[in-house]
Structure 1
């Protein structure tokens, strides 16, 4: 009888072995990045005319800022509405160098128009290009470290932190507009002609600037991706999801958030320094509350929980603004606001979240269908359960 039961019960399937990510999964990310990098560095300069290539370089500068916002907001939960301040610091640092270089030892043109008779002491160090580039990154980082040390130690977060950064952007604009002889006032700094001895108006120079911007974006993306995957990145996500719990475990969330905020500020400053020679202007209108909000909207549309989504959102929103504003100059802002509301309400994870959800749904259906087919094949192979001859004997 025991032999009969043993032969009637089909053998249990072997337990699946515990395996790590497959080779295909490990190569998927680098393969996609390589494809996009080749497309940006090789195909775009060959296929796009100089004007369109210059616009793409402008969008990539915004994408660098968006990458920092995705790191601070998406991974760390810090809604920064004042990234334009750091973007402006980097932009003005590079603009000051370019103006002094074009002046050739004389006063910049806007100072002459404003009645300034002697070069301000604040401007003198920016005659050195190395100092200007270093300050474009170090200045925003130091300001973010100071602000973070003051704010995060007081456990200011959420909407309060967002309002504080927004107020900082508004105050910076007022300060820049009021210093006509020092900053160019409302007009800002413009009319740049040379960069390191190269004519900025030449197509070859603009093509080279595009390649530099694209390469910088690629390197920063890889560094940010590595940071997110490190232990520091996991701790940052844990602080986003439960700051009090992380504090109870013995970590100091203020330090982690301050460092992340400083890194995002440095990215914004570097983007501003690249933006000035690409576009040819830096003014208070480019670093106020509205531009900062537009960058946050772009990150939300692309997907704030994904670094690639933040970059994609900045490029798409920049292209959309250029395209739609040509036909709907007054209606673009309303369209942008409506798009932000729809994304936050219906797709909080943005476009990349929708793509991930669709991919998971397709994978689940494929796996379910595969299991059904395997079950049918197993049932057909087993056939009817028949007692073994030795059992009957």
Structure 2
């Protein structure tokens, strides 16, 4: 059998993790963790899973599209700020802010002598607008950046550096415009959503399950894309971009699409982070968090949607454990974890699973039966 004849099967194998992997992940997230963790730890896991939206987007962007972005924190932060603006406006009603010089505006605006709500804040008084903004604002910026870059065939390390620069610029801009964004402290003291107190234990439990459901919906969307002709073209574009271009396909628009998809997913993750943690700040927008998000995908396996989630959980759980148990050494321990995983398992946790677990039954099935030449067991 020629190698080319096995290509569709290989693509299907890459495009979809085994159903057992999805079932195991669902069992752990929906049953094991809620039953075994207290609400504080479960809320931490919910925070970790909000980062997993970014990692899933990076699987599509970096693993399938071959486009490495080191600025995904930008889109995570924009989605988080869109949700935080709605929540802050709800918490800044005239009654709650009666002691301010200008009632009815966020407290940080009053502290900075701003006397009227900026026009671009006004639409975020409405939850539907905020929910649309969670996805649309990151995707709009992603479209502007990627269309300008990919049309000029800017890619590779140059594009990665540009995304880093955007992350730095946006974090500096948010900090500098303190009166409009809350500055270095961000948007804090978020209490309710449509009158529902998001700080209670029951609300945190509901938000955790909502986060998991949305995450599986994101996985289903990406898996569907992987199994379509578009997914095959993304892989072909990653490996042989010139051949795809010479075949008549618009490679630049494929890259724009997958970059916008990753940005939209990151925005959803940012919104869920804001709801579960109760604030959003520029510390999640800059270069460092953006690089950490790439590490989540790399540790899990940049070709695996499920692996990206496991990688996100592993890295963040290690970060929490090391910082609590070894406050003076945790940065070094985290670095050792990153380097060790990448060196020992270059394909991430998903590659480890595929090499030592998933392939073993197939190898056993192909072993000739004892005493019967040519017959398989």
TM-score, structure 1 normalization: 0.85
Name the CA shift for 1:157/1:331 in 2 (closer, same or farther; >3 Å). Answer: farther
- State the Cα distance separating 1:42 from its structure 2 match: 3.7
Structure 1 position 370 matched with structure 2 position 359: no
Matches for 1:1-393 after TM superposition, within 5 Å: 29-105=18-94, 106-359=104-357, 362-363=360-361, 366-367=364-365, 369-375=367-373
Q: Separation in 2 of the partners of 1:159 and 1:374?
A: 55
Residues 65-112 of structure 1: CA deviation (Å, up to 9, x unaligned): 110011101111111110000011111111111111011141111112
Report the Cα distance in structure 2 between the residues aligned to 1:295 and 1:276, rounded to whole angstroms. 17
Provide TM-score, normalisation by structure 2. 0.88
Q: Which deviations, in whole Å up to 9, do the C-alpha atoms of 1:128-175 show, x marking residues without a partner?
A: 111111011001111111111101111111111111101100000000
Residue 331 (structure 1) shift: 3.1
Instruction: Tell me, in whole angstroms, the C-alpha distance in 2 between the residues paired with 1:255 and 1:329.
Output: 46
Structure 2 CA distance for aligned equivalents of residues 238 and 306 of structure 1:
17
Shift of 1:343: 3.7
Distance 2:319 2:163 in 1: 24
CA distance, structure 2, for counterparts of residue 335 and residue 153 of structure 1: 42
Computing the radius of gyration over CA atoms, which structure comes out larger, 1 or 2? 1
Distance 1:345 1:366 in 2: 28
Relative to structure 1, the CA distance from residue 58 to residue 369 in structure 2 (aligned partners, 3 Å threshold; closer, same or farther) is: same
Q: Does the CA-based 8 Å contact 2:368-2:374 persist in structure 1?
A: no
The CA distance in 2 between the partners of 1:227 and 1:184, in whole Å, is 38
Give the drift of 1:316: 1.1
Q: What residue ranges of structure 2 are gaps of 5+ in the alignment?
A: 1-5, 95-103
Instruction: Find the aligned partners of 1:121 and 1:194 in 2 and give their Cα distance.
Output: 23
Q: Cα deviations across residues 198-241 of structure 1 (Å, max 9, x unaligned)?
A: 11221111111111100000111011011111110010011111
**Equivalent pairs, count:** 356
**Within 1, Cα distance between the matches of 2:222 and 2:355?**
24
CA RMSD of aligned residues (A): 2.3
Does the Cα contact within 8 Å between 1:54 and 1:210 map onto a contact in 2?
A: yes
Is the contact between residue 164 and residue 287 of structure 2 (CA under 8 Å) also seen in structure 1? yes
Segments of 5+ residues of structure 1 without an aligned counterpart are 1-17, 379-393
* Separation in 1, partners of 2:200, 2:87: 16
